[in-house]
Structure 1
Amino acid sequence: MNKELHDFMKVGIVQFMAYPQAESPESYLHTISSIIEDGFFEAIEIKSPPDKETMKQVQRLFENSDILVGFSAHPVLIRNQGNLNAMKGEERQWAIELVKEAIDEAYQLGAKNLAIMSGKDPGPQYRERAVSHLVKSIQDICKYARSKGNLEILLEPFDHETDFHCLIGPAELAAEVAYEVRKVDPSFGLMVDLSHLPMLGETPKKALTTTKDYLKHAHIGNCLICDLNHPLYGDKHPRFGYPGSEIDVPELTEYLRTLLDIGYLEEGKNRTVGFEIKPAPGELSEVIIAEAKRKLQAAWQQV
């Protein structure tokens, strides 16, 4: 592609993945500020601030930055084992309340969207019931979000059998859930992550053409699944081209090409494509971010 990639996408990054050590108020603020100051990025995805004072400071940063903000409820769901498709109603309600609290924070920070994930896949015997529970949970979440404003709720499919063992999961199930949820909230959408596709056994063409009518956000990342005993096995988001991993420039090129083919990326649309990468032990966040930019530019040139 001989046209500038920023004419086709808003490039974003998941702050808490790129800077996993940024847990203190100071480091949380510093890393967000570093991303905002980098003109390459027009979007950022964050998790809950560590305290209320940090929340106020981040809010001021975003108000002055003209950067698109996404909020992730994944960390709070994972940390508290929240399961939106649990068989027990009280467990589902607990997860719903966790997400509602995240929605409140997202609105305070001026976020445009909030990402959620499904819970564990219960297996074939209970899968249909779990999907029904998930749809109802997300519909409840969407109603709450709509009651407060225009925050878009996005469901991200995770691996089905490798690491998190999530219900959603396969592209067909993700599209089925999105179809049902949109009966309540037409703004609901899906967030498809390149790094999850090898774990799901799906190609970009398979995953993206199946979900294209609901696709609202795209992630680009990597995974390692060739060695069960490797410390980065599963959904650890190593840098592109990490030895033994699944995603490098050729796979990234195919993903971008498919995003163009389905109409997600189009000149002037400003759809978001966000890095989800994490430094391995001994690696520096700043170095792998710089590498990710170069890999994206190299892939874009080959589209």
Structure 2
Amino acid sequence: MKESIHRYFKIGTIQWMSYPGVPVLDTLRKLASDDFFDAIELSQIQNSVERAQAKKLLEQANVTVCYGAQPRLLGPGLNPNALDESEREQAERTLLEAVDEAEYLGAGGIVFLAGKWEAETKEQTYIQLLKTTRKVCSYAAKKGMFVELEVFDYDMDKKSLIGPAPLAARFAGDMRMSHGNFGLLADLSHFPTTYEDSRFVIRTLRPYLTHFHIGNAVVKKGAEGYGDQHPRFGFPNSANDISKLMEFFQILKEEGFFDTERPYVLSFEVKPWKDEEPDLVVAGTKRCIRRAWNLLED
């Protein structure tokens, strides 16, 4: 493409994935100072002083803020589709708190993920997830905010209730019957983990997609980095490379997601593996994005 990718998308990164274990203010300052990034995705900041400083920093940078509530669930092992009501309500509470924190930080909504998938209780837990999501969407709607569910694998790593893509589409359709402020986040790094490809996922989920991630995964059993670990592009035995990234962009173009007036957030979710240096992994991912975009036909 001759035109810049920034014309059609707000390019971002996931702060806690790009710089794991690094103080949040240090990484936000670094990312917000880099004009490659139109958006920054962050999660819970427990220290109130740091939270206030982060808010000020993000405002100064004039960057789009996104809030990922996934760590609030994954860290303590909370399940928004738990059959036990007390467990479900605990997950619901942290998501409602996430909406409040997201609002404070300047985000337009939150992203979360479903809890565990089990074949014998699939339909019951589906109903529980609808209950939680409707409550969170109703609360967010009062603030003019949005709620998005990220589609994960169901049997490889996270073993989440939602996806694969057809089930995610069913869930989103049910949610849209009652809440217009609900959408889905599709992540290229998860397509190999659900045994799907870009064309199938994007076409299946098309009416409900509101947010995108790109990244990589190793799905070769026994190989280093196996599962939903988000290694860099070019990682040994990994599933996604520049050609897969270019294909992803091509499908987005074909399906009408190139929007100059209201560009979608498209963030890379890439994590340094073991002793890899975060700055080098971030720089390498930028190079892959530029290369894949440049190979895309006008």
Q: Hey, what does 1:90 align to over in structure 2?
A: 86
Match of 1:161, as an amino acid? D
Aligned-pair CA distance for 1:227: 3.0
- Mapping for residues 1-303 of structure 1, pairs under 5 Å: 1-22=1-22, 27-123=23-119, 125-147=120-142, 149-228=143-222, 230=224, 232-303=225-296
Secondary structure of the 2:79 match is: coil
Q: How big is the alpha-carbon RMSD for the aligned residues of Structure 1 and Structure 2?
A: 1.1
Q: Distance in 2 between matches of 1:122 and 1:100?
A: 25
Taking structure 2 as the reference length, what is the TM-score of the superposition? 0.97
Paired residues of 1:171 and 1:207 also in contact (CA < 8 A):
yes
Question: How many residues of Structure 1 are paired with residues of Structure 2 in the alignment?
Answer: 296
Aligned-pair CA distance for 1:113: 2.3
Secondary structure of the 1:217 match is: strand
Aligned-pair CA distance for 1:119: 0.4
Match of 1:146, as an amino acid? A
Q: Distance in 1 between matches of 2:161 and 2:103?
A: 28
Q: Distance in 2 between matches of 1:21 and 1:130?
A: 33
Paired residues of 1:19 and 1:285 also in contact (CA < 8 A):
yes
Q: Distance in 1 between matches of 2:146 and 2:155?
A: 28
Secondary structure of the 1:162 match is: coil
Aligned-pair CA distance for 1:267: 3.8
Q: What is the identity percentage for the equivalent residue pairs of Structure 1 and Structure 2?
A: 34
Deviations 1:32-62, CA, capped at 9 Å, x for gaps: 0111000000001001114000011011112
Segments of structure 2 that go 5 or more residues without pairing to the other structure are none
Segments of structure 1 that go 5 or more residues without pairing to the other structure are none
